[in-house]
Amino acid sequence: MLQRNQWVRNIALLPVALMMICCAVTAAAAEAAPDLGPNVFVFNPSMPAAEMQQQIDKAYALQQHSEFSVHRYAFLFLPGEYHLDVPLGFYTEVLGLGASPDNVHITGNVRSDAASRNNNATTTFWRGIAGIAVTPTTANTMRWAVSQAAPFRRMHIMGDIILHQNGWASGGWMSDSLIDGNVASGPQQQWISRNSEWRSWTGSNWNMVFVGIPNPPAGEWPKPPFTKVATTPVVREKPFLLVDAKGKYSVRVPAVQHDSSGITWHSGQTPGKSIPLSRFFIAKPEDTAAQINQQLQSGKNLLLTPGIYNLDEPIHVTHKNTVVLGLGFATLHPTKGNAALTTEDEDGIIIAGLLFDAGEVKSPVLMQIGPKDSKMRHVKNPISLHDVFFRVGGAGMGSTVENLTINSNDTIVDHTWIWRADHGKGVGWEKNMSANGLVVNGNNVTVYGLFVEHHQQFQVLWNGNGGRTYFYQSEIPYDPMTQAGYSSAPGIDGWASYKVADNVTNHEAWGLGIYSVFTRPNIWVSHAMEVPVNPHVIFHDMITVCLLTNGGIRNVINDAGGPTKAAPGRIEPKVTRYPAQ
């Protein structure tokens, strides 16, 4: 890795003449840019820095504290050198358009600041960055103070990075990224890093998970609370927009990897295939579901530009190898009690970069992968979901029964946050109703970075065999009204957060944190996790935490682990393995 870092630094010393050629190419690309709508800004190195900075600052002023804004933005950088400050607010995505992150280099203060008072980042959601090399100008350190739904992908930080702002933060995601220096997690409560590289890592709190990391920090669960899995068993990196040397736009679809460790772009480009943008329907928020479906049925892929799509029927993906890619947190909002997106049970379907926002009329499900009773296997070419986020309430009234239902076998989920809102508009036990966050009916489904919070029954209900979860973060709902009305079965208080169905014979999960924050007294959950007692149903590295004194959690998993207790005399039980060896 150190040899690679020296090579990257040498690239920065390219002759001026070569940089001029690069600028000429990117200027040509800018002229050929497709119409991506008014909220996508495509920058190239020949543009005046002041002009670019003005657009960035204008969006940030609007989005810095606008947690439930209707505005959406994407800033796209063509290959070349930039000197800019780039703060990211809510619903803002910053993307480099090079084959490698090193093709787009920003020297400046690229950052995510805590969105709440007192440097609190526990509500710093819905922003993302990918495909850029950054030389930080503030103490050689990039600040990325975030919590859920803030993907950090395909980044090269030529310095250090901190994952906080000297205040609390509540979990985030890093993948396919190279950090030349140190990663400091500080008061981050939990975090997942997948297929990334760094010189060093410092910090721990409740639950830190490292999957496919060549140089993970020293120590083992439970002290420090590090869960380490040497290789990533199967994954496909998220597709991304790409501009080639001739200025042509495409979407790069990374190849499926098996038993991988570290980044994909050591050789300059992530292995995979490129699909010309001409084979995509570029949707705008004013397009109807019927218009979008007509394009999908004709064989087009789908690129959703930033905005809110009001859908009176589901977007329906029917063809194998179809790519659906959202920019700038494009948001799907069902309006007639329908699903927002459904798929057939076909190979290689990819859904990425979308926010699903429940409508006022209750939907049966927001996204369904494969029809009920799907039977096909997709081992060689799996369906995959990347950075798909769900919200019930908060921005307004919304309800659903299930949020994400996976019926197709071998599906990969690569980062999701499934949130029933605990604050904002339309929030209350009988207002923003949602039974389950994730329901898995397919077999051999693999999930990395599973964040599921506040739903009214099981947060996760896993019915399929052969499932695997790498990192789980969940808060049980804050607002059950009474214990009598909050019970999954006679003699069982509450609903387990993570439920593996009784008929499942094979399941495994690593690095799970489950938390209670009940706002009414004497509300309890008997088990944070309920699973079959079977030697092939194995859970590794679990913690439960009680954050308020109103009730709590009686056991971590089945009848093991014992109760949690809030301060004073806080008890945060940790279980290393279930069943115990």
Contacts of 469 (CB under 8 A, 6+ apart): 446, 447, 450, 508, 509, 510, 512
Residues β-bridged to residue 369: 406
Instruction: Please name which of 47, 130, 44 lies closest in space to residue 79, comparing C-alpha atoms.
Output: 44
Give the helix/strand (H/E) hosting 436.
strand 434-440
Give backbone dihedrals phi and psi of 59, rounded to 5 degrees, phi first. Answer: -65, -40
In the residue annotation, 67 being an active-site residue is answered as no
Q: What's 181-221 look like in SS3? A: EEEECCCECEEEEECCEEEEEECCCCEEEEECCCCCCCCCC
Contacts of 280 (CB under 8 A, 6+ apart): 251, 300, 301, 302, 303, 323, 325
Secondary structure of residue 9 in the 3-state scheme:
helix
Q: State how far the Cα of 454 lies from the Cα of 465, in Å rounded to an integer.
A: 25
Q: State how far the Cα of 362 lies from the Cα of 366, in Å rounded to an integer.
A: 10
Give backbone dihedrals phi and psi of 94, rounded to 5 degrees, phi first. Answer: -120, 125
Q: State how far the Cα of 158 lies from the Cα of 111, in Å rounded to an integer.
A: 14
Q: State how far the Cα of 151 lies from the Cα of 174, in Å rounded to an integer.
A: 7
- Contact between 327 and 352 under an 8 Å Cβ cutoff? The reply is no
Residues β-bridged to residue 439: 405, 461
DSSP state of 225: -
Catalytic residue among 93, 237, 475, 530: 475
- Contact between 578 and 560 under an 8 Å Cβ cutoff? The reply is yes
Contacts of 539 (CB under 8 A, 6+ apart): 508, 509, 512, 529, 531, 557, 575, 577, 578
Rounded to a whole number of angstroms, the distance between the first and last alpha carbons of the chain is 37
Residues β-bridged to residue 540: 510, 577
- Contact between 465 and 504 under an 8 Å Cβ cutoff? The reply is yes
Q: State how far the Cα of 541 lies from the Cα of 567, in Å rounded to an integer.
A: 23
Residues β-bridged to residue 292: none
Give backbone dihedrals phi and psi of 567, rounded to 5 degrees, phi first. Answer: -65, 150
Contacts of 26 (CB under 8 A, 6+ apart): 44, 45, 46, 78, 79, 80, 243, 247
Q: State how far the Cα of 335 lies from the Cα of 362, in Å rounded to an integer.
A: 9
DSSP state of 264: S
Q: What's 78-104 look like in SS3? A: CCEEEECCEECCCCEEEEECCCCHHHE
| Half-sphere exposure (Cβ direction) of 95: Cα atoms closer than 13 Å | 24
Amino acid at 472: Y
Burial of 57 (0-12, 13-18, 19+ CB in 10 A): middle
User: Which residues are marked as active site?
Assistant: 475
